[in-house]
């Protein structure tokens, strides 16, 4: 009962009234004894008033001091732009309404601060994305425009071979643009949580073999050996087949790009406890230790100037990681500069 404010008030008032009655009883006894009726009555009234006033002030102070601390904290939180929740140090650790109100406010302000910082981060990422995208769109667009304009202006002087070459270059830039736009579109959708994987059960080993098959010709042209190794007792996985295909494509594409002629790229599928592990390893240039934790960031390329020559904007691994996370899986990378890199994806078995 004494835990609630009402209880406290009631107990204080009860004490006051008991005290007043005691004084009155004492006083009436004296009245009978001394017959100083008027004087005593005046003393009694003054005493009662003073006593009640002091008691009321104490109760009031006790209540307002904690309300003031609370309102100061709220004001400080507002002044910080709702970013820094102010820890409340209430005098007296009483479990009453004010205490509970303060605790609720504290929890609420912490949550507001977290959500606000998340919103700001998303907003910053959006702006960065937009800036990077417009920058990366400009390069291929400008080249394309250059070659097409040259063809228009010098239409009469160009030999058929030259015209053909110019057109091929323009088409190549067009393809880069298309790829960039596709990647940006995909990453944006993934980040906005707009895609839900269409989960089905399938043997991932077969998928790996199909994907590797698609790269066979390209690997041959670049004098790279492509090997697939699938453990026969590998259980099927539960995942979105199209998305996992994309993960494999991104990793194999990277492995091929960063491995020079004569190198080897291996795709392995094997069971690992309750998971299935997909490994894409290469014998390429590798990644420096201090770059390793950055490569999954969007737009991160170890060599940023590379975009001009390859048209890859550094979105591949960001998309890959998002897809793997969406499946409740995990992606790791191990690399030794000069020796090669291995990406390891793990997925849930069916």
Interface residue with Mg ion among 316, 320, 343, 347 (CB under 5 A) is 316
Interface residue with Mg ion among 254, 259, 320, 335 (CB under 5 A) is 254
CB of 132 to ligand ADP, least distance (A): 12
Reading the block at residue 27, the tokens are 């006083």
Interface residue with ligand ADP among 85, 266, 284, 329 (CB under 6 A) is 284
Using the contact rule CB under 5 A, the part of the chain among 82-90, 205-213, 246-254, 303-311 near Mg ion is 246-254
Backbone angles phi, psi at 43, to 5 degrees: -55, -40
Helix (H, G, I), strand (E, B) or coil at 41: helix
CB of 253 to Mg ion, least distance (A): 6
Cβ-based nearer residue to ligand ADP, 277 or 282:
282
Residue 341 interacts with ligand ADP (CB under 6 A): yes or no: yes
Among 324, 323, 314, 326, smallest CA distance to 345 is for: 324
Backbone angles phi, psi at 289, to 5 degrees: -50, -40
Among 103, 293, 59, 326, smallest CA distance to 198 is for: 326
Residue 283 interacts with ligand ADP (CB under 6 A): yes or no: no
Using the contact rule CB under 5 A, the part of the chain among 28-36, 58-66, 225-233, 308-316 near Mg ion is 308-316
Helix (H, G, I), strand (E, B) or coil at 199: strand
Q: How far apart are CA 147 and CA 168, in angstroms?
A: 10
CB of 216 to Mg ion, least distance (A): 19
140 makes contact, choosing from Mg ion, ligand ADP, none, with CB < 5 to 8 Å by partner type, with none
Interface residue with ligand ADP among 180, 215, 258, 277 (CB under 6 A) is 258
Compose the 296-325 pattern: x for residues touching ligand ADP by CB under 6 A, - for all others.
----xxx---------xxxxxxx-------
Exposure on the CB side of residue 290, measured as CA atoms within 13 A: 0
Cβ-based nearer residue to ligand ADP, 110 or 253:
253
- Residue with tokens 């959006």, as numbered in its chain: 126
Cβ-based nearer residue to ligand ADP, 28 or 125:
125
The count of chain residues that interact with ligand ADP, using the rule CB under 6 A, is 21
Backbone angles phi, psi at 345, to 5 degrees: -110, 130
Give the Cα-Cα-Cα angle 240, 245, 247 (nearest 5 degrees): 95
Cβ-based nearer residue to ligand ADP, 96 or 249:
249
282 makes contact, choosing from ligand ADP, Mg ion, none, with CB < 5 to 8 Å by partner type, with ligand ADP
184 makes contact, choosing from Mg ion, ligand ADP, none, with CB < 5 to 8 Å by partner type, with none
CB of 284 to ligand ADP, least distance (A): 5
CB of 307 to ligand ADP, least distance (A): 8
Strand partners, 350: none
The full DSSP string for 78-90 is: HHTTS-SPPPP--
Task: Tell me whether residue 252 is exposed, middle or buried, using C-beta atoms within 10 angstroms of its C-beta: 0 to 12, 13 to 18, 19 or more.
Answer: buried
CB of 250 to Mg ion, least distance (A): 6
Q: At what angle do helices 241-257 and 316-326 cross, to 10 degrees?
A: 150
Sort residue 193 into left (φ over 0), alpha (ψ -120 to 50) or beta: left
> Residues 83 to 122: which contact ligand ADP by CB under 6 A?
none
> Residues 218 to 257: which contact ligand ADP by CB under 6 A?
250, 254-255
Cβ-based nearer residue to ligand ADP, 102 or 250:
250
Exposure on the CB side of residue 14, measured as CA atoms within 13 A: 7
CB of 268 to ligand ADP, least distance (A): 15
Give the Cα-Cα-Cα angle 169, 171, 174 (nearest 5 degrees): 115
Strand partners, 214: none
Residue numbers at the binding site for Mg ion (CB under 5 A): 254, 316
Residues in the site for ligand ADP, rule: CB under 6 A?
Answer: 250, 254-255, 258, 282, 284-287, 295, 300-302, 312-318, 341
């Amino acid at each position: 009962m004494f835990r609630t404010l009402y209880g406290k008030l009631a107990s204080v008032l009860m004490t006051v009234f008991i005290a007043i009655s005691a004084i009155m009883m004492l006083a009436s006894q004296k009245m009978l004894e001394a017959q100083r009726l008027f004087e005593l009555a005046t003393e009694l009234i003054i005493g009662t008033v003073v006593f009640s006033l002091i008691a009321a002030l104490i109760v009031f102070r006790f209540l307002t001091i904690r309300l003031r601390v609370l309102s100061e904290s709220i004001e400080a939180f507002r002044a910080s732009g709702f970013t820094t929740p102010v820890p409340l140090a209430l005098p007296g650790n009483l479990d009453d309404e004010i205490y509970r109100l303060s605790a609720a406010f504290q929890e609420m302000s912490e949550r507001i601060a977290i959500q606000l910082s998340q919103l700001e981060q998303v907003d910053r990422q959006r702006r960065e994305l937009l800036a990077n995208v417009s920058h990366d769109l400009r390069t291929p667009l400008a080249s394309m425009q250059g070659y097409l304009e040259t063809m228009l202006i010098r239409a009469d002087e160009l030999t058929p071979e030259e015209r053909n070459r110019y057109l091929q270059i323009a088409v190549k830039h067009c393809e880069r643009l298309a790829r960039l736009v596709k990647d940006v579109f995909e990453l944006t959708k993934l980040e906005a949580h707009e895609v839900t994987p269409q989960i089905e059960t399938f043997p991932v080993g077969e998928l790996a073999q199909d994907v590797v098959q698609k790269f066979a010709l390209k690997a041959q042209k670049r004098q790279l050996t492509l090997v697939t190794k699938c453990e026969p007792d590998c259980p099927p996985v539960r995942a979105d087949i199209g998305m996992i295909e994309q993960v494999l494509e991104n990793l194999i594409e990277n492995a091929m790009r960063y491995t020079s002629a004569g190198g080897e790229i291996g795709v392995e599928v094997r069971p690992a406890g309750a998971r299935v592990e997909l490994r894409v390893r290469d014998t390429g240039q590798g990644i420096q230790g201090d770059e390793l934790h950055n490569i999954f960031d969007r737009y991160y390329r170890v060599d940023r100037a590379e975009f001009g020559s390859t048209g890859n904007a550094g979105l591949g691994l960001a998309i890959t990681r998002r897809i793997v996370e969406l499946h409740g899986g995990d992606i790791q990378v191990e690399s030794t500069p000069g020796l090669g890199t291995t990406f390891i994806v793990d997925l849930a078995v069916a």
